[in-house]
Amino acid sequence: MRTTIFSTPLITPLLRIISIGILKLIGWKARGKVLEHQRFVLIGAPHTSNWDFPLMLLIVLKLRLRVFWMGKHTLFPFPLGWLMKWLGGIPINRTASHNVVNETVRQYRENDELVVLIPPEGTRKKVNQWKTGFYHIANMAQVPILLGYVDAANKEAGIADFFAPTGDLEKDMLEIRRFYANKKGLNAENA
């Protein structure tokens, strides 16, 4: 996999120290432990604000995760596309089907370690139903889903539990959503 902000020699450790300092300065806590083997789908919810992205960078750096994240292709304009990719971004054109699920599953099969962060809402706006691509990727690649979260009410963000998909989409989604029921996003009205 390519080098990103989370895996650049010398720069990543420096940014990790800066991230820890910024989190203390703004009064946010990073929850979770450092994970040695990193092979899972990471979901992040609730995704309600543009500020979720810099907060995610700070938390991920502190927790030593090596993450790639999916974002709409319009976030990768020339000449800044290279920066977004260095920040771990994978551009997704949502205007047409591009077999994103199958391509991501293939990447899991070809890499011993891979973490792809996917916001299940698919947008910062209020949605009635989550997208299920993250679930299908994890199920088909036979990797767990790690529940990442933001809870603005308690000024904390991080990673919680692993969830193993059973193949029963409806039942599993209800259980996953139950974890997020008491989490408040930065813009709670968008949750």
Q: What is the pLDDT of residue 191?
A: 62
Q: What is the pLDDT of residues 5-24, one digit of tens each?
A: 999 999 999 999 999 999 99
Q: What is the pLDDT of residue 113?
A: 96
Query: Where residue 72 falls among pLDDT bands split at 50, 70, 90?
Result: confident
Calculate the alpha carbon distances from 99 to 41, 73, 76, 92 in Å.
17, 15, 19, 10
pTM over cut 0.85 = yes
Lowest mean pLDDT among 3-7, 149-153, 160-164, 184-188: 184-188
Lowest mean pLDDT among 41-45, 53-57, 127-131, 171-175: 127-131
* Rounded-to-integer distance, Cα 50 and Cα 185, Å: 11
Across the chain, mean pLDDT equals: 93
Q: What is the pLDDT of residue 129?
A: 86
Share of the chain above pLDDT 70, in %: 96
Q: In the chain, what are the domain boundaries?
A: 11-190
Q: What is the pLDDT of residue 13?
A: 98
